[in-house]
Amino acid sequence: MKRVDEIVKKLSDAGLKITPQRIAVMQSLVEAKTHPTAEETYRRVSQSIPGLSPTTVYNVLDAFVRNGIVNKVKTDAGAMRYDPVTDNHHHLYCESSDRMEDFHDPELDRLLEEYFQNKKIHGFRLKDVKLQIVGEFENSKK
Amino acid sequence: MKRVDEIVKKLSDAGLKITPQRIAVMQSLVEAKTHPTAEETYRRVSQSIPGLSPTTVYNVLDAFVRNGIVNKVKTDAGAMRYDPVTDNHHHLYCESSDRMEDFHDPELDRLLEEYFQNKKIHGFRLKDVKLQIVGEFENSKK
DNA sequence: TTTTAAATTGTACAAATTACAATTTAAAAA
DNA sequence: TTTTTAAATTGTAATTTGTACAATTTAAAA
Ligand SMILES: [Mn+2]
Ligand SMILES: [Mn+2]
Ligand SMILES: [Zn+2]
Ligand SMILES: [Zn+2]
């Protein structure tokens, strides 16, 4: 299975020990594409790892975030969500369905980068600009 | 006190009953300028209204949000924060200090509006674009 | 002044997350 | 390969951030 090898390499490169729990959590995140919560991730991964502890999922996700291989994202709803896509991108978000999708747009990124290179913000060292694009998905599958 | 009159008018205009708790919560939000959490607001307002219930603060803030005179804002940290500035603006945010400041920029707003007018996003009806500008405040008062 | 719908309060409950001590395990060292 | 050890996992309890609900009080309309 090539996919598991890639995940193992990603964990290794981040300096993390390889455990079945970590492999399964990362695999679940990558396959989900829905920016799942910790609890959703726990439910999914429990299928393949019975006896998995919810605490472990929180620990694993936190380790991933601390080591930069997963990002935390927050919406208007209750829980934190986790994003295995760490290259620069933004999010489309629908408040009524709480659905969130990736939005990659290099042209927009160039535009923003240029804008903020010229316009310095007094007293603030800018590191990153994130857009939250709020609206409605038209094919609201339900 | 002119300020209280303005707050009373704002509540009236929104169709809300005038109560000491609501006046004090709105006054606290406006004076704070820090996008405080419900719990911070409860601590501040308790000074002037002893016996105030935390539940009331949640109720009042929720009524303000439902009636459009306050916005909820979220960060990557734990709790929701409340913003009495409801005209269009963005936020500067420092992750290490969890500090958040307003960023008004009509030029940027025009740029973004123009960009998204030309570039339609397939399957998504866009309603609003907000920037979270992440970085470090240089005068980190501490 | 009376009436009443809405606001406030206290308590209990809930969801999401964290703390911590005991146990197990990955992987480095021998 | 076996031993060792620091780190990961687990279960439990606690904490944080709220929400639900019934009883009481109150703003403001009549
Ligand atoms: Mn969850
Ligand atoms: Mn709080
Ligand atoms: Zn994403
Ligand atoms: Zn603001």
**What are the pLDDT digits (tens) for A28-54?**
999 999 999 999 999 999 999 999 999
Instruction: Tell me A108's DSSP state.
Output: H
Distance from CA(A85) to C1'(D7), angstroms, rounded: 26
pLDDT reported for residue A141: 52
Angstrom distance (rounded) from CA B61 to CA B69? 10
- Spacing, Cα B94 to ligand 3 middle (Å): 21
Can you list the domains of chain B with their CATH numbers? 2-83 (1.10.10.10), 90-135 (3.30.1490)
Mean pLDDT of chain B: 93
Angstrom distance (rounded) from CA B32 to CA B84? 10
Which of B103, B54, B52, B102 lies closest to B79, judged by CA?
B54
Position B141 pLDDT exceeds 60: no
DSSP string, chain B: -HHHHHHHHHHHHTTPPP-HHHHHHHHHHHHH-S--BHHHHHHHHHHHSTT--HHHHHHHHHHHHHTTSSEEE--SSSS-EEES--SS-EEEEETTTTEEEEE--HHHHHHHHHHHHHSPPTTEEEEEEEEEEEEEETT---
Closest Cα of chain B to A53: distance in Å?
A: 22
Residues B133, A126: C-beta atoms closer than 8 Å: yes
H or E stretch including A117?
helix A106-118
pLDDT reported for residue A75: 82
Mind listing the pLDDT tens digit for each residue in B21-78?
999 999 999 999 999 999 999 999 999 999 999 999 999 999 999 999 999 998 878 8
H or E stretch including A51?
none
| CB-based neighbours (< 5 A) of ligand 2, an ion | B 37, 39, 79
Rounding to the nearest 10 degrees, give the CA dihedral for residues A66, A67, A71, A77. -30
Mind listing the pLDDT tens digit for each residue in A74-127?
887 889 999 999 999 999 999 888 899 999 999 999 999 999 999 999 999 999
Higher pLDDT, B27 or B138: B27
Q: What is the pTM of this model?
A: 0.89
User: Which position has the token pair 């695999």?
Assistant: A27
pLDDT reported for residue A95: 83
Residue nearest to nucleotide D7 (CA to C1'): A17
pLDDT reported for residue B1: 55
Angstrom distance (rounded) from CA B5 to CA B10? 9
Rounding to the nearest 10 degrees, give the CA dihedral for residues B47, B48, B50, B56. -100
Task: Read off the pLDDT band of B142 (50, 70, 90).
Answer: very low
Task: Read off the pLDDT band of B102 (50, 70, 90).
Answer: very high
Position A3 pLDDT exceeds 50: yes
